[in-house]
Amino acid sequence: MSDKFNFSLKFLEPTPRGLVMEIQLVLDGDFPVRSAFVDEEAFGFLEEAIRREWPSYTKYGHWGTTVISTDAWGKIMSSWKKLSFDLMQTDSVAEIDCIGFLFDDSKEHFEQEFTSARRGLVSLIEALVNWSAPEQGSIKEVVIRGV
């Protein structure tokens, strides 16, 4: 996999070493919150889908908190699944329309290391979907914040 990007999904709050994005599922029931953490740069690839489905979200949301409705979250998850499928069906990032790049050099490196970078991003999307899907019926809202 790409050595520049950390595509791992974490479940414990990471040791500070730069900004990390927390995705928090606010649930009904006895355990009302589940959190997962993604490195900021890797999360940047997923943000275009968030912006499309929840227009009030911007990359400046990294320094704040964004609350997303369950309906929008379902659409975001669907967009991420489509992004995952599209990544595996093409040989060029230029053919993908629902991918974001936080930094210019992120895009350059992703293009240069496309085969390994796309595998890492597809793995991250699969991990997010697998983490969120079992809770789909009990999610009240989803919170995204930089920590």
pTM for this predicted structure: 0.90
> Are 9 and 37 within 8 A, CB to CB?
yes
> What's the fold here for domain 20-146?
Hypothetical protein yfbM fold (3.40.1760)
The domain segmentation of the chain, as residue ranges, is 20-146
Q: Is 74 exposed, middle or buried (0-12, 13-18, 19+ CB in 10 A)?
A: middle
Q: d(Cα 111, Cα 92) in Å, to the nearest integer?
A: 7
pLDDT by residue (tens digit) across 55-93? 888 655 677 889 999 999 999 999 999 999 999 999 888
* Residues 12-62: tens digit of each pLDDT: 766 656 788 999 999 887 667 889 999 999 999 999 999 999 888 865 567
